[in-house]
Structure 1
Amino acid sequence: MRAAGARLSVVGARLCVVGGGVLGLAVAADAVKAGWRVTLLEREPALCRVASGASFAWANAHAKRPASYAALSRAGLRRHAEASATGSEPWFTAMAADAWGTRVVEGGAVDVAAFARAHARAIRDHGGVVRTGASVVRVDTDADGARVVLDSGEPVVADTVVLAAGVATPALLDGLGTAQRLAVLGPIGALARVRWPSGWAGGLVLGDELSVRPDGDDRLLLQSLSLERALVDEALPLDERAAWRRLRELAQRHGLPLGDDDLLELRFAHRPLPPDGLPIAGWAAERVYAVVAHSGVTLAPALGRLVVAELGGEPQPELQRCRPPGSVPNHSQKEHTHGKEHTHGH
C-alpha cells in the first residue's frame, strides 16, 4: 500500500462519473485533464436539469460556517472567476448583492447552462464521453473493477466510480452494502425565470420572501425561501399554476409588476442537504467515491479539483471534515489507495 499523500499515475484509468449536475461536470472535466478516461452519465435528456437547474446560482461565501467551509467557498469563487474568464464560454459574472439588508461584494451569478456547455465541451475535447438519457440503476464492484449498470441493462465498466447524483446518491450506495445510509434529501427548491418587468432597476437582491437577480439582459430569476418552506409537505410534481400564483403575489408585494404571461419557466427539484450543511466528499465504498453538496454551484470548481486529487491518491486536508459515514480507504486497487483509513464522519 502506498503512503498517504503519494501522487499516483491515473493516465488511462477508467473513471465513470454518475450525475451531470455542476459537481459531476466539474469532477469529470478536471479528471479528464488529469489523464483519466472519463465517461459521464446523466439520466436526464440534458445536463444540469435537476437540482443545478433549479438553483438560484448565487455563488458566495456569505455567513458560511465553519471557517473551513467559508474557505472552500472562497476557493470555489476564485476558480469560477479564473476558469470562466479563460474557458471556451464565460459562465460567471462578479456581482455585488443586497443580502438580507447587508451589502455583499464577494460573489456573483453563475449561468448554469453556460457552465454545463463549457464543461461538457472540455470533457469531450480531452477525449471523454458525456452521455445524457443514461439512467443508472446500480453500481457493482469487485477485485477487478466496477460496473455501472444502466436501466437498459448496459454495463459501463470502470476502475473507479464517482457518484455525484445529488439526492439519488444514497440509493445507489445502498446497493453496495455501505454501513450507513447518507441523509441528503433536502427541501424542494423552486426557481422561476420571468421577463424583466418595467420599473425593476436591476441588481441582485436576496431576502426571505423574495430573491431576484438578472438572467441575461431581458430576464430575471426569482426564488422565495418562504414559499419553499410552505412546499415542504407537498410532493413532486407540484401544481405549477398554484406555485406561480403564490410567487407572483410575493413579487408584486416587492415591487415587481409581473403579468400572468411573464413566466418563462418554473422548475422544482429536491435540493441535496446533508444534516450539518457541509459537503460530503470521500470514499463511500471500495472503488466508489461520493460527492454531494448543498452549495454545489459555489463549490463545484473547488471540489472538482480536490476530488480529482484524492482519486489520484492525495488526501486533501480541506475535505477531512466532509467524509461520508463509514468512509473507507480505497484498498481494492493499490494504485488508487489512500494509504490509511479516514475516521472523520459527516
Structure 2
Amino acid sequence: MTAAVIPSPRRIAVVGAGAVGASAAARIAERGIEVVLISAAAAGSTPVSRASFAWVNAHGKRPEQYRRLNEDGRRVHAERSDAHDTEWFARTGAEIDGVQYPDDGWVDTSAFLAAQLADLRAAGGMLRDGIAADSLDHVRELLGPVDLILVAAGAGTAALLRTVTPCPRLATSAGDDGFLARIDVDEHPLDRIRSLAGLQVRPDGPGRIAVQSLGIEAELRRTGATASVGTVWPALRAEIEGALGWRIPEDAGVRVDHAIRPHAADGLPCIGRVTQDVYVALTHSGITLAPLLAELIARDLQGDPDPRLAAFRP
C-alpha cells in the first residue's frame, strides 16, 4: 500500500524561539510558508542559550549517524555565518587534553538568534514573544487555524506533547541542570576552546571568557544546590587557576546562568511528525545542529525528506 501524501503546510506555528526553533522558523518562512514563531522568553535570548557553552563540535557523539550529523552541523554553521550579514561562529579551534581540533569553534548565541529572527522577519514571518503556551490547544486558541505546529520547546517539549501520542523517545525532554559562567577580564590566556578533564573554557568576545565545569555540575546535583555565583565561583575559580596556571584578577566580574538542558529519553535528536499536524524538533546538541536541522526540517515539511534524519524520527 502506498503511504498517503501529506500536503505541504501553508501556515505553521513554531513553538520555542531558541536556537532550533528560531532557525527553523526562518528557513521555513524563506520557502514561502506563513510562519508564526511564539516564545515564552523575550526574543533573542533564552535561558538555555545563555547557559550553553556553545561549542560546535562532534566529539564523543555516538552512534556514527549522530557524529556525522554534528560534523555537518559544524560545516553549515561556518558556511552560513560567513555568508550572513551577522557573523556568529568563531572558528578558534579546540584543544582537548592536549589534542588539537582546528575546525571547532563557538557560537555567539545572541548574535546567532538575532540573525535568525532578522531572517524570519525579512521572509515575512511573524514573532510573538512573551507568550507561554501550556498546550497545543492553547497554541491554536492563540493563533487560530494552523496546518501544523512545530514544537521546538526544548526541555518543555514532552509536556506540550503529553496529550498527542505515546512515544517512548519523548517520555522526557529534560536533562540535567547545567551552568555557564562568564568572567570579565581585561586580559586572559585563551585563544581557543580548551577542555581539560571536565573543565571547559573558551574566549567569549573581547575581555571575557566562558567556563563550564562538569565536575562542579555533578557536585551541585549531588547536593541539590542551584548554580549561582555564590555556589559556583569559589570552586570554579580554583579549578580554572589550577588548570591554566593563570591568576584571575580580584576585580573580575562574574555572571552565572543555568538552565535545564533539552534531552530526549535516549539522548538522541528526535525530529519529525508525531501526528499529521504536529512536528517535533528536540535535540541535546541544539547549538551545533540548529542551522543544519533548520534546513532539513524546512525541506522535510515540503515533502523532501533527507536520509540523515531517518535514524532520528520519533
Would you call these one fold, judging by a TM-score over 0.5?
yes
**3-state SS in 2 of match to 1:62:** coil
Q: CA deviation at 1:285?
A: 2.7
CA–CA distance in 2 between the matches of 1:100 and 1:138? 45
After superposition, the C-alpha distances for 1:168-214 in whole angstroms (9 at most, x for unaligned) are 00000013354544322211111011123645253221123421111
Residue 101, structure 1, aligned to residue 98, structure 2 = yes
CA–CA distance in 1 between the matches of 2:221 and 2:215? 10
Q: CA deviation at 1:308?
A: 1.4
Structure ranking higher in helix proportion: 2
Residue 278, structure 1, aligned to residue 255, structure 2 = no
Contact 1:178 1:284 in 2 (8 A): no
Between 38-47 and 15-24, the greater mean CA deviation after superposition? 38-47
CA–CA distance in 1 between the matches of 2:185 and 2:199? 15
1:115 maps to what in 2?
112
Contact 1:18 1:42 in 2 (8 A): yes
Residue number among 280, 286, 290 corresponding to 1:290 in the alignment: 280
Residue number among 13, 16, 20 corresponding to 1:23 in the alignment: 20
Question: Structure 1 unaligned runs (5+)?
Answer: 141-146, 325-346
Residue number among 160, 163, 180 corresponding to 1:191 in the alignment: 180
Residue 174, structure 1, aligned to residue 162, structure 2 = yes
Q: CA deviation at 1:231?
A: 1.9
Question: Structure 2 unaligned runs (5+)?
Answer: none
CA–CA distance in 2 between the matches of 1:50 and 1:235? 19
1:221 maps to what in 2?
210
Between 225-234 and 162-171, the greater mean CA deviation after superposition? 225-234
Q: Residue type of the partner of 1:98?
A: E
Q: CA deviation at 1:263?
A: 3.1
Between 118-127 and 51-60, the greater mean CA deviation after superposition? 51-60
Between 25-34 and 193-202, the greater mean CA deviation after superposition? 193-202
Q: Residue type of the partner of 1:285?
A: T
CA–CA distance in 2 between the matches of 1:172 and 1:235? 26
**3-state SS in 1 of match to 2:221:** coil
**3-state SS in 2 of match to 1:40:** strand
Flag the 1:236–1:132 CA change in 2: closer, same or farther, 3 A.
Answer: farther
Contact 2:228 2:256 in 1 (8 A): no
Q: TM-score, normalised by structure 2?
A: 0.91
Residue number among 163, 166, 188 corresponding to 2:151 in the alignment: 163
After superposition, the C-alpha distances for 1:272-304 in whole angstroms (9 at most, x for unaligned) are 122433211111233111111111111111111
2:89 maps to what in 1?
92
Q: Residue type of the partner of 2:266?
A: D
Between 235-244 and 222-231, the greater mean CA deviation after superposition? 235-244
**3-state SS in 2 of match to 1:232:** helix
Contact 2:11 2:34 in 1 (8 A): yes
Q: CA deviation at 1:45?
A: 2.0
Residue 242, structure 1, aligned to residue 231, structure 2 = yes
1:148 maps to what in 2?
139
Flag the 1:26–1:234 CA change in 2: closer, same or farther, 3 A.
Answer: farther
Q: TM-score, normalised by structure 1?
A: 0.83
**3-state SS in 1 of match to 2:38:** strand
CA–CA distance in 2 between the matches of 1:192 and 1:132? 26
After superposition, the C-alpha distances for 1:294-339 in whole angstroms (9 at most, x for unaligned) are 1111111111111112211233221111122xxxxxxxxxxxxxxx
Contact 1:188 1:231 in 2 (8 A): no
After superposition, the C-alpha distances for 1:222-281 in whole angstroms (9 at most, x for unaligned) are 111111111224668544312222222212222242245423421000111224332111
Q: Residue type of the partner of 1:221?
A: A
Q: CA deviation at 1:154?
A: 3.5
Between 108-117 and 199-208, the greater mean CA deviation after superposition? 199-208
Q: CA deviation at 1:2?
A: 7.9
Contact 1:204 1:214 in 2 (8 A): yes
Flag the 1:259–1:284 CA change in 2: closer, same or farther, 3 A.
Answer: farther
CA–CA distance in 2 between the matches of 1:3 and 1:179? 21
**3-state SS in 2 of match to 1:106:** coil
Between 248-257 and 81-90, the greater mean CA deviation after superposition? 248-257
Contact 1:209 1:227 in 2 (8 A): no
After superposition, the C-alpha distances for 1:39-60 in whole angstroms (9 at most, x for unaligned) are 1111112333222221111101
Residue 59, structure 1, aligned to residue 49, structure 2 = no
Q: Residue type of the partner of 2:37?
A: L
Contact 2:227 2:256 in 1 (8 A): no
